[in-house]
Amino acid sequence: MAIMVNQVGYEAEDAGKRAVASAPGGYVLKNAAGETVWRGEAGDAVRDPLCGETLYPLDFGSVCAAGKYRLENESGERSDTFAIGRDVFSGVHNAMVKALYFQRCGCALEEKYAGPYTHAACHMAESRIYGEGDRGLEARGGWHDAGDYGRYITPGAVTVGHLLYAYKLYPQSFRELLHIPESGNKVADVLNECRYELEWMLKMQREDGGVYHKLTAWQHAPFVMPEEDRDDFYAYPVSSLAVADFCACMALAARMYDSVDRMFAWRMEAAAKLSWQWLEKHPEPVLFVNPEGSNTGEYGDSTDADERLWAAAEMLLLAARRGEDRSGYMAALQKILATGLAVTDFGWTNVAGFAALAVLTDFRQTAGKEIREIFRGQVFREADRLTDMSTRNVFGMAMKAEDFCWGSNMVVTNRGILLALACEILRTEIKDMSRDQAREAVARMARYQEVIQAQIDYLLGKNITGYSFVTGYGDHAYRHPHLRTTAADGIDEPMAGWVSGGPNGKPGDELAVREIPAGTPPMKCYLDREECYSLNEMTIYWNSSAVFVTAFLRSRALAVESHRDSGI
């Protein structure tokens, strides 16, 4: 039996405080003093398709007093503890951003910033350019991508994209200092951290605008500390995937940093334009596969249409800002959109959702009504599909069984991003609506926000495994990520803030295949084991996707707090 809750907590003003239980009957909510503050009955039984069990919803939305709580049933079984309060996601949100600091390559992590998770500067040697003899490349810096020590352009661009758009839309959610070396320099720390990756990305661009696909060793390192990994690193061949993602990311960052550091913004603008020229000279896909014998992350793809779409959208907005000719970017957008490409995903495999973010959050409406409507129509069709999907399981998940793949937790949070974008569109349009239209828009936003909340509830413990999938957050947070530094540093607890890949209905590592019986329902296909890279690895872009969603939720909580303080 189990009582599954969001182990971090619930906003005091949110009426959607929900848990899931494995048994019917009466339940009580007790505060830290052991006092009962709520009594209620479990809802009707639901046979849940994602975990294969009959479960019962609990709704304690009427409880608003701040404090620590737990749920209990008539048999005395207890849930994990959780908070009710205001801005309850501030800690986990900041930890998920700060976690990126621990992935910095090419510098020492000092105790004053890293606490016990220190290590010496790593991967300081010059890299070699694959296929070009002994020609070298100075490309120190950037973030280790995942549990390995490689650095990759496409996932790096996606990570920065998530974070910059989250900051653009919800700056109030990034107001705290994160205690990184740049903290206190009058720049938001999320921008400070992104800059560390952007500076490395700039080193990966060739003089002709081409961008090396990745920078890794020939084989994954053993489980040693990063400074002990002394294998030669290689800059792997240019791909149009990397060039287009680089172009898009640099154009976006040039706009975002323009008021922070104009010289840095100009460098990125020039780099974006150079890579766009490369794309124009190479209109056919230049895809990537690992050379024979190399086993580091491939990040391959079957098409570069979505990458080129993102690049065109970001270059269009940058050109509009500079008063430059936009016709080439418009033509590229129209040509790709005419193929019917889906524009509602935000992962490294399909980055077209970032083009939707660019176009639909542009207050100038640079792309024009026709293109905006294509993006808008797809976003709302997908938002409504996800909302309907969330009613078909007891957890409120915008997921089907087949969606529990490698990195399923990014599917969860990316769908939160899509729903957040739908909310942003409605928020900007509502001023031009009639009263009845506005009322319906507000109701629609509330439905979307409820589903977004359910995705984060799941991530933080309201799931059949009972794990919070973020290290350090929750009584039952997972503790054994597939991450070389946490395996080799001799410290029992991992650094806080890492998002696990999560349940995978088709696990791909030897231990998971052996330990998880065939036919196990997908939400149950999880082990908190370091060896299980197909279940329990972490990556920078799983974190950044989750950060976007918590930024959205924090912005709503902070707005309520601001209205209360102002007497509105």
Active site residues: 148, 482, 528, 537
Tokens of 356: 């939707």
CA distance 4 to 183: 37
- Where is 21: in which H helix or E strand? strand 18-21
Tokens of 83: 């908070």
Helices vs. strands in the chain: H and E counts, helices first: 16, 14
Number of Cβ atoms within 10 Å of the Cβ of 34: 7
Could you tell me whether strands 136-137 and 26-31 are parallel, antiparallel, or unpaired per DSSP bridges? unpaired
Q: Is residue 148 within 8 Å of 296, Cβ to Cβ?
A: yes
Helices 352-360 and 368-390, axial angle in degrees (round to 10) = 120
Q: Is residue 277 within 8 Å of 209, Cβ to Cβ?
A: yes
User: How open is the CA angle 351-221-542, to the nearest 5 degrees?
Assistant: 30
- Say which amino acid occupies 16: G
The torsion defined by the Cα of 367, 372, 374 and 379, in degrees rounded to 10, comes to 130
User: Strand, coil or helix: what is 166?
Assistant: helix
Q: How many residues does the chain have?
A: 568
Could you tell me whether strands 9-11 and 127-129 are parallel, antiparallel, or unpaired per DSSP bridges? unpaired
Number of Cβ atoms within 10 Å of the Cβ of 378: 20
Tokens of 62: 């009427």
> Which residues does 292 contact at the CB level (< 8 Å), separation at least 6?
none
* 482 burial via Cβ count (<10 Å: 0-12, 13-18, 19+): buried
CA distance 249 to 193: 15
Tokens of 4: 């599954």
User: How open is the CA angle 231-528-178, to the nearest 5 degrees?
Assistant: 70
CA distance 488 to 501: 20
> Which residues does 20 contact at the CB level (< 8 Å), separation at least 6?
3, 4, 55, 56, 57, 58, 394, 395, 462
Closest CA to 523 of 53, 183, 106, 107: 53
Q: Is 287 left (phi over 0), alpha (psi -120 to 50) or beta?
A: beta
Report CA 552 to chain centroid distance, whole Å.
12
Closest CA to 459 of 471, 449, 450, 448: 471
